Amino acid sequence: MDRIACVNLPEFPLQLLLRQHPEWHAYPTAVVDRDKAQGVILWVNERARRVRILPGMRYAAGLSLSTQLRAGEVPQSDVDECVATITERLRFYTADVEPSPDEPGIFWLNGSGLRLLYPSLAKWAGLIHSDLQGDGYLASVAVGFSRFGTYAVARTTPGVSAFDDPDSERDASARVAIDRLGFDPALRDALFKLGITTVGGFLDLPANGIKKRFGAGVFRLYELARGDLFAPLQPQPPQDPIVVSVHLDYPEADLDRLMALVEKHLQSLFIQLTERCELLAAVSVRLDFDNRGRAAERLQPATPTLDVAQIAGLVRLRLGSLSSLTSGVVDLEIEIEGTPAQRRQGELFVEKSPRDLQAAARAFARLRAELGEGAVVCAVAREGHLPEATFEWTPMHEQPQPKARPVRLPPLVRRIYAKPVMFSPGKQRDAGMQLTAHIDDGSIHETQGPYIVSGGWWQREVQREYYFVRTANGRSLWMYYDRRRVCWFIHGEVE
């Protein structure tokens, strides 16, 4: 018999939301269609289910059940992008993968004909489960004989489940609670009123009554659960990469002539992209030189686009900054990555900010194209003992919307130097005596400190005494005395 597997990433949009807010793991959490009191809850975690917060409720109703409820929106474009990524990952284990069009996070896989590659289907499912878990996803895998049976078990049983015969799969799926499946909330509540809480109880209802009372859609689900309706696997065919390779008859080192060739082929690649109803998300350019050198560059525009001129401008900036372009190019390869185009509904009244974020994003994209991916960065908070370890510079690909708030007094900003500057060697640790002879002609108005920072004995011991030093011309220096190195350092300045 044909074997089928169901991979379930439970509450997949919720997992994406918790990746953005890991601190919400300890609270009841939900994904809503809009972040308003009347927003509808779409997915919930186990902590929310324990307090009877279920999909289909209003956000306000969920808050009435638990004041600790955390909720947020997850854009459909983010969900679609992650589903496509996981679909490609699952194709490593089988060629036939069907992502669910109605329930993101559900995938059906063809498990037939794999016995020569894997010792057992349970081992095959275990490798899939370990791969997804290793990437940070909660996942469960069920291998069986029917689409609905594997779906029901994968939705409710963590880890890996493998059935050797259809009867055991049918018995396991009959014990599944219907509130754990993707039933319509109205159908779920109607079945609860009838005292039906499991799939087995749902299947015990008479077929004619199901169709008459609940309609053709529920009757189709009923037939699918009973196995009367055959639903073959409909795998999503993999898309070929949009790529072009060109062999040059003679080495080309002139940037203008090389760009004319790039723009020519970009036009043809964009035609293929529009046929897929996609926008360009990134472009990769690979060059082979006549001195046997190679260069590979990947560029991202500010936002997905079909503007050939914009992409050509980014490629020109990147190629112009390559020192290896002094050698002649003999082979050129261009590959573009697409993303589904999103149709946005216009608004009647638009509050236009004086800041043009799209222009800023385009400027950042040009900086990255010319100077590299690390040219545009932002500070991200990190857990660290020393002041310089409490943040990290990470590449910034999107300009966030500014969230201005009124303040009575402008806050002071401490500018931390990338590397502390050695000020003066000396064994004198008194701030006033040591600094008087070096700052602003010996004029210091005030010093505050010391503030002790010590630790690191497990790796490299640190003993610092920090001071705030106010000078005559109004500067506020942030300095420390390193007891281990017997030296003063300027670590930053307060403005």
Same structural domain, 150 and 174:
no
**Do 447 and 488 belong to one domain?**
yes
Domain at 265, CATH number: 3.30.1490.100
123 and 9: one domain?
yes
Q: Does 158 share its domain with 173?
A: no
Helices 12-20 and 76-90, axial angle in degrees (round to 10): 110
Domain-terminating residue out of 340, 372, 392: 340
> Quick check: is 382 in a domain?
no
In the three-class reduction of DSSP (H, G, I as helix; E, B as strand; rest coil), residue 466 is classed as: strand
- Residue 435 has what pLDDT? 55
CA–CA dist 73, 300 (Å, integer)? 25
Tokens, residue 15: 């997992």
| 348 within domain boundaries | no
Looking at the fold, whether 202 and 253 belong to one and the same domain comes out as no
Which CATH number do you get for residue 206?
A: 1.10.150
**pLDDT per position in the chain (495 positions), as tens?**
588 999 999 889 999 999 888 889 899 999 998 888 888 998 898 899 899 998 889 999 999 999 999 999 988 888 888 898 899 899 999 989 999 888 888 999 998 888 888 888 999 999 999 999 998 899 999 999 888 888 888 888 889 999 988 889 888 888 888 877 767 778 778 888 888 888 888 888 887 777 777 777 777 777 777 777 667 788 877 778 899 999 988 888 888 888 899 999 998 898 888 888 888 888 999 999 988 888 888 888 888 888 888 888 888 888 888 876 778 889 999 999 888 776 544 444 445 556 667 777 778 888 888 787 777 888 888 777 788 877 888 887 777 776 777 777 777 888 888 788 887 655 555 544 555 445 545 567 778 888 888 876 666 788 888 888 888 777 888 888 888 888 888 888 888
Say what the pLDDT of residue 135 is. Answer: 87
- Enumerate residues 6+ apart whose C-beta is below 8 A from 182: 102, 103, 155
If asked whether residues 125 and 263 sit together in one domain, one would say: no
Interatomic CA distance for residues 147 and 57, integer angstroms: 28
Cα–Cα distances in angstroms (integers) from residue 53 to residues 42, 195, 324, in the given order: 11, 19, 60
Q: Please report, for the domain that includes residue 157, its CATH number.
A: 3.40.1170.60
Q: Of 164, 193, 211, which marks where a domain is finished? A: 164
Both 132 and 252 in one domain: the answer is: no
Report how far residue 156's alpha carbon sits from residue 198's, in angstroms, rounded to the nearest whole number: 12
Query: Do 184 and 208 touch, CB atoms closer than 8 A?
Result: no
- Nearest alpha carbon to residue 396 among 376, 369, 411, 416: 376
In-domain check, residue 360: no
Distance (Å, rounded) from C-alpha 181 to C-alpha 154? 10
Q: What's the pTM value of the predicted model, to 2 decimals?
A: 0.57
Q: Is residue 320 part of a domain?
A: yes
Same-domain check for residues 95 and 204:
no
Q: Are residues 10 and 108 in the same domain?
A: yes
Q: Is residue 188 in a domain?
A: yes
- Residue 134 within a domain: yes
Residue 346's pLDDT is 40
Are 105 and 28 within one domain?
yes
SS3 439: coil
Alpha-carbon torsion angle 94, 95, 99, 101, nearest 10:
-160
Q: How many CB atoms lie under 10 A from the CB of residue 38?
A: 11
pLDDT score for 349: 45
The answer to whether position 217 is within a domain reads yes
Residues 6+ away with beta carbon under 8 Å from 252: 258, 261, 328, 329, 330
- One domain, residues 335 and 437: no
Please tell me the distance from the alpha carbon of residue 311 to that of residue 299, in angstroms, as a whole number: 9
Domain that holds residue 216: 169-226
Distances from the Cα of 420 to the Cαs of 155, 405, 465, 491, in angstroms? 54, 32, 14, 5
Angle at 137 between CA 136 and CA 140, to 5 degrees: 140
Look at the block and give the residue holding tokens 């281990």.
Answer: 484
- The reply to whether 311 falls in a domain is yes
Number of domains in the chain: 4
Are 461 and 334 in the same domain? no
